[in-house]
Chain A
Amino acid sequence: MVTEGLTRLATPPVNAALAVSGINALYGDSHVLHEVSFTLNSGRVLALLGRNGAGKTTCMSSIIGFLPPRDGEIRLFGETITRLSPEAISRKGIGFVPQGRRVFASLTVRENLDVARQSRAGVAVPWTLDRVCDLFPRLRERLHQHAGSLSGGEQQMLAIARALMGNPRVLLMDEPSEGLAPLIVTEVGRTIARLKEAGQSIVLVEQNLKLALDLADDVVMLNTGRVVFSGGVDEVRNNEALLTQHLGVF
């Protein structure tokens, strides 16, 4: 379904993990997001695609609370988180893997994980230091190293592991493959696939179209701050006209 100027969702579906409804976001006078709406269903991966400057990262910033939307609403499992502080949003259960990784460079790997630890009621198998190290064995070898001294790929693993330590109900990942060697991209992709298998709900912003389409169940496309497509991944995969029009690839 191609939707030009998607209207506000009156009632998000009941199994909605994250429902973004009609948000407008501004940097100063610059209106970046226009009435953006989409819904991430529980246990699914939603890829948020678009050209550079389309508003993907702004969208993430609005959800995590860095740039609270001027209006509209963001709900996490039905509970509004729209204008909470980033720490409150994190505590409600949003995990965030930011663009550029942003690990705490002067802290050790272990400290990076430790400060992000949050327990959450109702999580059957919570993430622990041990479990994230099982997921990323290279982090276990580097636990006592400063995060700033890790390679880009290791920092990305740490950024993902750090987000998992909060036992997030929804995980936001902003360009996790950016600037990584192809082998590491594959590894990161495998990790995201494993998280998905384990039932983790994920919003994935990704420039690597193949990676995004391989992982995603649903796709939302942004163009100049507006949702221009919202639908299943199969509707996108072979629709070159759509991809060319809004992503400018191929």
Chain B
Amino acid sequence: MQFWVIQTLNSLALGGLLFLLAAGFSLIFGLMRIANLTHGAYYMLGAYIGVSILKVIPNLWVAALLGGLTVAVFGGLVERFILRKLAGNELGQVLVTLGFAYIIADFCLVVWGGDPIPVPTPEGLDSPIEIAGFMFPAYRLAVVAIALATGVALYLLMERTRLGAMIRAGVDDMQMARAVGIPVSRLFTIVFCLGSALAGAGGILGGPIMSAYPGLDFDMLPLALIVVILGGVGSLIGAFVGSFIIGFVYTFGIALFPQFAYVILFLPMIVVIAFRPRGLFGRQVA
């Protein structure tokens, strides 16, 4: 029984981290039609920057905030000065974002070395807590809570503010959004910074569970891609539901059928795409 409970919690925690990664990925893809293959690298870069910040300020939450901001600035610069020039050039975008992913990976290898670096769990959350006779790792519960809070905040931003409505208008019909005066190019930068910040902060918050290691980027990127394709491009709710589905499928797949982990991961996605090409919550985009 403890196995199922713990694996369920692990699934939720992975789902939460995936959501932090996939929400930004989905918004960027939905609004800008850019498959930002650097997104996994932003997650890893966030984790490593967090490791360095923690040496100076031993507080995971502060590290997540500062690390997220740093990655946001970096992402914003890449968008403004490089990706912007590649508008409409999908192959160019794929090549450039993939290239940046490799550059960041090598940069991290040079700066932080090739050994995995564990990230300490914040004090107070480092011991399991007991609920109804089961022992729960407290930090994983905290990660789930943060993902939920982020989901609610993003939902309110997207659904209850004028900025969010402008972003959704851009996802619906970008050309028409421009024609009614919506500053789409400024929105691109905002969304790109926001997505990068979430990925970077996610990397640090995931640190106590996954640690920081070379290859973390390309462990996470396919999961984010699957989440977005499964949930529907540009859909926040899709990213949320998709993240937790993949969190469960991946965690239980690895635990129960380790030799089939990727089959279990990709099979539901293939089935969903076959019957709902735009994903569970996707819609026609102009």
Are A and B part of the same complex?
Answer: yes
CA A107 to CA B173, docked complex, whole Å: 11
Question: B162 near A163 (CB under 8 angstroms)?
Answer: no
Q: Which residues of B contact A65 (CB under 8 A)?
A: 178-179
CA A89 to CA B184, docked complex, whole Å: 13
Count of chain A residues with a beta carbon within 8 Å of a chain B beta carbon: 26
Given contacts A104-B173, A106-B172, contact A86 B165 (CB under 8 A): no
CA A104 to CA B284, docked complex, whole Å: 12
Q: Which residues of B contact A165 (CB under 8 A)?
A: 180
B181 and chain A: residue at smallest CB distance: A90
Question: B177 near A104 (CB under 8 angstroms)?
Answer: yes
Q: What is the interface of chain B mostly: helix, strand, loop, or mixed?
A: helix
Contact string against A for B residues 167-180, beta-carbon threshold 8 Å, 1 for contact and 0 otherwise:
01101110111111
Q: Which chain A residues numbered 72 to 123 have a C-beta less than 8 Å away from chain B?
A: 85-87, 89-91, 96, 98, 102, 104-107, 111-112, 114-116, 118
Residue numbers of A with Cβ under 8 A of B are 64-66, 85-87, 89-91, 96, 98, 102, 104-107, 111-112, 114-116, 118, 162-163, 165-166
Other A-B pairs, 14, CB within 8 Å; known A112-B169, A115-B182 = A64-B179, A86-B178, A87-B178, A87-B182, A87-B185, A107-B168, A107-B169, A107-B172, A111-B168, A111-B169, A114-B162, A115-B165, A115-B169, A118-B181
Q: Which residues of A contact B58 (CB under 8 A)?
A: none
Distance from B162 Cβ to chain A, minimum over Cβ atoms (Å): 6
Question: B181 near A166 (CB under 8 angstroms)?
Answer: yes
Count of chain B residues with a beta carbon within 8 Å of a chain A beta carbon: 21
> Counting CB contacts under 8 A, is B85 at the interface?
no
> Counting CB contacts under 8 A, is B166 at the interface?
yes
CA A166 to CA B181, docked complex, whole Å: 8
Distance from A103 Cβ to chain B, minimum over Cβ atoms (Å): 8
* A115 CB contact (under 8 Å) in B166, B283, B286: B166
Q: Which residues of A contact B169 (CB under 8 A)?
A: 104, 107, 111-112, 115
CA A115 to CA B178, docked complex, whole Å: 11
Question: B172 near A86 (CB under 8 angstroms)?
Answer: no
> Counting CB contacts under 8 A, is B116 at the interface?
no
Question: B181 near A66 (CB under 8 angstroms)?
Answer: no
> Counting CB contacts under 8 A, is B183 at the interface?
yes
Given contacts A107-B165, A115-B166, contact A102 B181 (CB under 8 A): no
The 7 closest A-B pairs by CB, nearest first: A90-B181, A86-B178, A116-B180, A111-B165, A104-B172, A104-B169, A87-B178
23 contacts between A and B (CB under 8 A): A65-B178, A65-B179, A66-B179, A86-B178, A86-B179, A87-B179, A87-B182, A87-B183, A87-B184, A90-B180, A96-B179, A96-B180, A98-B176, A98-B179, A104-B173, A105-B172, A106-B283, A107-B168, A111-B165, A114-B162, A114-B165, A118-B181, A165-B180
Q: Which residues of A contact B283 (CB under 8 A)?
A: 106
A87 and chain B: residue at smallest CB distance: B178
